[in-house]
Structure 1
Amino acid sequence: MFTLKKQAGWMFGVLWGLGVFAVNAFAGGGPIATAPHVPDPVGKRPAKTVAIHFEAKEFTGPIADDVTYDFWSFNGTVPGPIARVRAGDTVEFHLSNHKDNSQPHNIDIHAVNGPGGGAAVNTAKPGEEKVFTWKALAPGLYVYHCAAGAIVDHISNGMYGLILVEPEGGLPKVDREYYVFESEFFAEVNGGKAEFSLQKGLEEHPEYVVFNGRQGALMGDNVLKASVGETVRIFFGNIGPNGISSFHIIGEIFDKVYVEGAIGGTVNRNVQTTVVPSAGAAIVEFKVDVPGAYTLVDHSIFRVAKGAIGQLVVEGEEQPKVFRAGK
């Protein structure tokens, strides 16, 4: 039997550091969860009014082993939380800006039908809270991001995440769901400090390309987990800000891909790699047939060396009829 303790993994010769950001500070923040976790499915509940609370928070945290970065975030995590509602819900969205922040912040939610995706009415100065209300009209997986001031600064420094709008009746049931988000960081590194570089952004030369906010966020003690025979759904986002992602899991085939996160649109089947544009998303589903360690990558493969790597560890009995060494 393959178990997590036995897995050695292979990492293209690169060993990444471990660590995760702070847990979600808003236990009562609504139907939200911190990556790689996902809120509970909406099921068959009727549409209702849902309150969601976000706080813009600037903080310093690790981006790589022995290297820190000054992040701008929602709820103190990069990426920000994933929120989950259903089509027909009325969403009362609260955005507060921590009093110690240096910048005004807002939020542009791609699921919103309205000026600026809400950003036109929710810019908050440090110490302020803004509230706006919107109706979720179209099911799908959507990106949100800050759009205040110099937008490139706010996006590049970590202010983004996903919101899922489920269809009436919910999505089909699966065994496990995870939230994975890819992002580039344009930085100059001096000793143990990485600092945002506008010039690197203009030249499209990221220092880091990572899953879930830092190198090693989905490695070591933080790998995703599943058991043989289970169906896994990954809500995958890509902010860019510049790069298109080629999301792939080595040793797996996506049984379903909801293209560009659209629910009710094209669902591709038996997909090896799916392309996710900047500020875009995709939903992938697959059954895990064989135990082992499966590597998540952006198959623009040099990005692995910059941090775009993670692992899914599958435990359970060997399946020699599906896969084995030798004859």
Structure 2
Amino acid sequence: MLDTTRRRVLQGLGMGGTAAVAGCTAPSGESPATETVREGQASQPQRDQVERVAADPADVPDPVDYSSPRHHEVELTAREVTAEIEPGVTFDFMTFDGQIPGPMIRVRRGDTVSFTLESDEGNGMPHNVDFHAVYGTGGGAEATNVTPGESNGVDFTATYPGAFIYHCAVPNMDYHISSGMFGMILVEPEDGLPEVDREFYLGQHELYTDRPVGEEGHHKFDMAAMADEDPTYVLFNGAKYPFTPDRYGRMQAETGESVRVYLVVGGPNLSSNFHPIGNVWTSAHRDGALGTPEEYVQTMKVPPGSCMTGTMDTPVPETVKLVDHALSRVARKGLLAEVEVSGEPDEAVFDPDPGSE
């Protein structure tokens, strides 16, 4: 007889209703079922408590610097962990490699990838990966189904360029993505991307919890609130105001540098209205399409399940606030990250005190 955890996980791999759109189906001979999540994670094993899930936004792979296709071995580990959304407020996250968003994967068009997904033995649910950069059923989701302690994989060729989301696509995929299971795969064109001085990587998503914003204690997932698309929090990288002085510190740049920001929007439901306060996207690629960029874009609309890349110039010292310009998400639901630009002022560009000597 299967142990309780494995039985529940195998049941969770059954697909029914709208979840079938991901291309995952129940193993042959098994009847569809659903994960037990109505009461939060009460039926799941005790999760590891970790200090943070917020990925370091400066942890970006080096740009492609080669001119012929290469092969890459890529591994991700599905990990279910407990961490703070904000001080005193904990939540049970689902992650790739213990971070949100999952690690950026960076390859070149024409590269081949051998991908392996491992599932931590302490997990309580099934997981897989749907790559939007992959031709094939479910973007590889069906081929990468894993249960706790198991691994599975798929080989693919990165045949088209762009910045693409990857995400978990098992039953209740919206629950898994909301809880943190998404990231970006960047497929650079053959000639690469224009060189910049700094690159940062952010992931936006919503959390639907059973308590109000800021109420201390452990917040469980609220499936009804997700169905109503009424999130408690809207976050960068799984944390409230993560890259500010009161949390993990601002991102850093110097005047005169070019700064590229990669944004992946997991959602699962809300679009981002991505805006740099005090700056502009000098060039931007909508939906991660790396053709001719748009120029001087004030706010970039990024749908759930999509990406964008945007480059800023930094002529003067300032604090650039990266926000969703649906501003109640900033003021009340936790969405804010900052870039501190240091250096010498240029009063011809910006003079904050024109009456002084």
Asked if 2 retains the 8 angstrom alpha-carbon contact of 1:61 and 1:71, the reply is: yes
Aligned to 1:161: 183
Choose between structure 1 and 2 for higher RCO, CA contacts under 8 A separated by at least 6 residues.
Answer: 1
Spell out the pairing of 1:298-309 with structure 2 (5 A cutoff): 298-304=324-330, 305-309=332-336
Identity of aligned residues (%): 40
- 1:86-235 matches, within 5 Å, as 86-189=108-211, 191-220=216-245, 221-235=248-262
Q: Kindly provide the amino acid, as one letter, of the partner of residue 54 in structure 1.
A: L
The equivalent residue for 2:302 is 276
SS in 2 for 1:81: strand
Displacement, 1:207? 0.4
Distance of 1:93 and 1:161 partners within structure 2: 14
1:326 matched to 2:350? The reply is no
Q: Distance in 2 between matches of 1:152 and 1:173?
A: 36
Whether the 8 Å CA contact 1:35–1:82 is kept in 2: the answer is: no
Aligned ranges for residues 38-77 of structure 1 at < 5 Å? Answer: 38-77=60-99
1:286 pairs, out of 309, 312, 315, with 312
**AA matched with 2:354:** G
- Aligned length in residues: 298
TM-score (norm 2): 0.81
CA-based RMSD of the aligned residues comes to 1.4
Structure 2: distance between partners of 1:191 and 1:270: 41
Residues 1:250 and 2:272 are matched in the alignment:
no
Query: One-letter code of the match for 1:201?
Result: M
The answer to which structure has the higher strand fraction is 1
Q: Among 298, 321, 329, which residue is 1:295 paired with?
A: 321
Corresponding residue to 2:53 among 18, 21, 27: 21
Question: Structure 1 residue 212: deviation in Å?
Answer: 1.3
TM-score between the two structures when normalised by the length of structure 1: 0.88
Looking at structure 2, the residues matched to 69 and 137 of structure 1 have their Cα atoms a distance apart, in angstroms, of 38
1:230-256 CA distances to partner (integer Å, 9 max, x unpaired)?
000001111111111100011101110
Q: Secondary structure at the match of 2:220?
A: strand
The question of whether the paired residues in 2 share the 8 Å contact of 1:212 and 1:218 is answered with no
Aligned counterparts of 1:219 and 1:191: Cα–Cα separation in 2: 21
- AA in 2 matched with 1:198: M
Structure 2 equivalent of residue 9 of structure 1 = none
Give CA-to-partner distance per residue, 1:206-247, whole Å, 9 cap, x none: 000011111131111421110000000001111111111100
Q: Which moved more, 1:54-63 or 1:144-153?
A: 144-153
Cα separation, partners in 2 of 1:139 and 1:71, compared to 1, 3 Å? same
Aligned mates of 1:89, 1:187 — CA distance in 2: 40
Structure 1: gaps of 5 or more residues: 1-18, 24-33
Distance in 1, Cα, partners of 2:84 & 2:339: 22
